[in-house]
Amino acid sequence: MNIILFGPPGSGKGTQAVNICENLRVPHLSTGDMLREAVASGSDIGKKAKEIMENGGLVSDEIVLSIVKQRLASKDCESGFILDGFPRTINQAKGLDSLLEESQKIEYVLRIKVDEEDIIKRLIDRGRSDDKPEIIKNRFKSYNSQTQPLIPFYEEREILFNINGMQEIEKVFEDIKKVIGI
């Protein structure tokens, strides 16, 4: 199964991706994790991404598409994959279309819906380096201006499904399982 997990910062994409991947035994492709690894390794990509991530902006489409392209070409993606936090712009979504083989078509875009105010508290409690109030605001700004337009993009294809993310983690997962039929 090929799935995109979509939603605002802290909506639980990463949390649910782990649950789905364990259940389906497919790889978890998180662009956030890949970029954090690049930053930690001090690679050229990491150097370019570091400041943008620290300020809550979006890393360039070119960089993100290049790391996803490399990852999708790996053998373990042949039996399916969960994309977590990608695509985040219309350009990335179009880039993804051109990267995917016929057998890798996206079947579900799961949109985790949450209330912004409650999420800010959730993120501050987590305490990652980009979980400071000012940076969280910028991440929401990036989401609202650049990522929201993906909703009609995937709605038109009739593969977008809304999930209520304001419930306990287990309950959110139960709802996801119902949608994808596992």
Residues forming contacts to ligand B4P in the complex (CB under 6 A) are 7, 9-15, 31-32, 35, 52-53, 56-59, 64, 85-86, 88, 92, 122, 126, 139, 165, 167-169, 172
Nearer to ligand B4P, 3 or 58 (CB): 58
| Closer residue to ligand B4P in complex, CB, 20/59 | 59
In the sheet with 81-84, reading across from the earlier edge strand, the strands are 28-30, 81-84, 2-6, 108-113, 160-164
Report, in Å, the least distance between residue 13 CB and ligand B4P. 4
- Kind and range of the H or E run holding 67: helix 61-72
C-beta of 166: minimal distance to ligand B4P in Å? 7
Q: CA 91, 96, 100 angle in degrees (round to 5)?
A: 160
Catalytic residue ranges: 13, 88, 126, 128, 139
Tell me the closest approach of the beta carbon of residue 61 to ligand B4P, in angstroms: 7
DSSP string, 31-61: HHHHHHHHHHHT-HHHHHHHHHHHTT-PPPH
Nearest residue to ligand B4P on Cβ basis: 32
Per-residue CA distances from 180 to 44, 140, 173 (Å): 38, 27, 11
Residue number with CB closer to ligand B4P (13 or 111): 13
